[in-house]
Chain A
Amino acid sequence: MPQPLEVLARRYRRLLLCYPRQYRRARGEEIVATFLDLAPPDRTRPTVREAVNLIRHGLRCRLGRPNSRGVVLGAVLTALAWGLFTGAFAARLGWETARPLPTEAEATELFGRMLGRDVTGQVVVDPALFVIYGQPLNAQNLHLLFSPDAGEYQQGRAAVSLHGPSDVDHRALVDSTRAWLYAHGWRVSEVVIRNRVACTGCDESTLPKEAVFAARRGDDVVSLEISLGDPRPRPPKPGVDGYDETYASVELTRASPAAVWPLGVVGGLTGALVGWLTFGWASRRTEGRGRLLRGSTTVLFGIAVAIWYVPLVVIVPSMLVDQLETSAPSWPPMWEWLGQPALLPVSVVGTGAALVALAVSALPRRRELATDARPAV
């Protein structure tokens, strides 16, 4: 049976796995001996404070360059970016557990009841939860994700649009639809009134308006846009874009399934850890190397970080404003916050720069070259 001190030493050695192997070989026994010297006789396992201390300093040690603070910043940026992107990818996997969209018949019945009219033949349902140009992603259209059209990859929906002259007042339609939603257990957002068309240099008060609101029940999310203008159709106005005769449109999408959250968190933490360890490996590999090699890896890494973070800085604030203005009951999928897949071609360039930096870091040192070049005995 092992002695308590041996058990304690083994547990400290286990925590030392946070340090790089070479460091453990050089300093591991010394650190364990110091812990054992400090431990009271009855201690059988490391304290939480000791464990946190070893994990924290072990992860720092993996970055090498003990005299540098910039290396910690670089590692944090890399870990955060990798965590976000892998978290988004894991969240997309979580979406595979979502319920499929309703069939056309189911959607027709739901929209008909919601709007209080027959919408037979006017409902369109996408063939999958996520589509690109109305089609599920497959081997034939995968290349679109790496093209400027990547932004067309969107959540699939069941939708209906009502056109032409209406037999009811549009404000009454807003009220009756909201009343039906409330009565049937939907959680309904506030109504936002906005301009129905975009117009530069117009008197905003003369522009047609529309009421926009959303509702959620279970994993069903509906977004509604109902015109507040004259029920009778009007000819297009000069200088006004996009004016059509549609007076109401409803879209049904699926809310994030429960599996998205745990998968996103686990994926994010795993990606962050892998990002930290990979950055640390490259940092240790390039420590003390020639100026050209260190300079080139720094520039390549800088390009990668800029490409990873610029979309975040640009997209997140605008999406946040949109989300808060419309008070939608469901948040967009995580990857859209990262500008994906619309900016996938750009992100691929950033990842390419990071991979080249890793490849340059992996170049053998001169001594290794000399050793490798030695003839076999």
Chain B
Amino acid sequence: MREPTFLILAALADQPRHGYGIIQEVAALSAGRVTLLPGTLYTALDRLAAQGLVARDREEVVDGRLRRYYRLTSDGLAALDAETARLRALATVAERKLRRHVRDQPAVAVRPRPA
């Protein structure tokens, strides 16, 4: 799963959101690193809907603008859960390696240079 897709699913995990809300939430989740444009967002939503991971929830009109809300389906929740577990496992392995590297680092640093 690509990062923007993962972030869109994550943005919908706690509550249904409309397009603008998803874009804001994805930016917040990624600390401003991922800024989706609407064209990209709606293409991704179409794909996720075709895969059965996302569904329309409700729509409302605010200040004359149409807002359509999207929510995760049960398959979407399962996919997000599986991807989160996969990323967590990868992060755990990487973290363990990094700790080992930091632990070994002083020994490397004090090794005398060859003459």
Q: Which residues of A contact B (CB under 8 A)?
A: 27, 29-31, 33-38, 49-50, 53-54, 56-58, 60-61, 65-67
Contacts and interface: CB of A to CB of B under 8 A. Distances in A.
Contacts, number: 59
B19 A34 contact: yes
A27 B39 CA distance: 11
A58 B19 CA distance: 17
Contact of B23 (A29, A38, A60, A61): A38
Contact of A30 (B23, B37, B49, B66): B66
Nearest to A9: B65
14 contacts: A27-B42, A30-B19, A31-B19, A31-B39, A33-B66, A34-B23, A35-B38, A37-B19, A38-B20, A38-B23, A49-B37, A53-B40, A57-B43, A66-B46
Which 3 pairs between the two chains have the least Cβ-Cβ distance?
A: A57-B39, A33-B65, A34-B19
B50 A67 contact: yes
Interface in B29-81: 37-43, 46-47, 49-51, 65-68
Contacts of A67: 47, 50-51
Contacts of B68: 30
B61 to A, nearest CB: 9
Nearest to A33: B65
A249 B12 CA distance: 77
Contacts of B39: 31, 50, 53-54, 56-58
Interface of A (DSSP majority class): helix
A60 B39 CA distance: 10
Interface of B: 18-20, 23, 37-43, 46-47, 49-51, 65-68
Nearest to B38: A34
Contact of A57 (B19, B42, B66): B42
Contacts of B43: 57, 60-61, 66
Contacts of A66: 43, 46-47, 49-50
Contacts of B37: 49-50, 53
Quick one: which of A31, A33, A53, A61 has the most chain B CB within 10 A?
A33
B38 A31 contact: yes
Contacts of A30: 19, 42, 66-68
Contacts of B41: 34
Given A50-B39, A66-B47, 5 more contacts: A30-B67, A34-B19, A49-B37, A57-B43, A66-B50
A30 B66 CA distance: 5
Quick one: which of A27, A37, A38 has the most chain B CB within 10 A?
A37
Nearest to B22: A34
A7 to B, nearest CB: 15
Contacts of B18: 34
Given A33-B67, A67-B47, A57 B40 contact: yes
A368 B104 CA distance: 72
A20 B67 CA distance: 21
Nearest to A26: B68
A31 to B, nearest CB: 5
Contacts of A49: 37
A159 B1 CA distance: 65
A38 B38 contact: yes
Contacts of B49: 66
Given A34-B23, A38-B20, A66-B47, A29 B42 contact: no
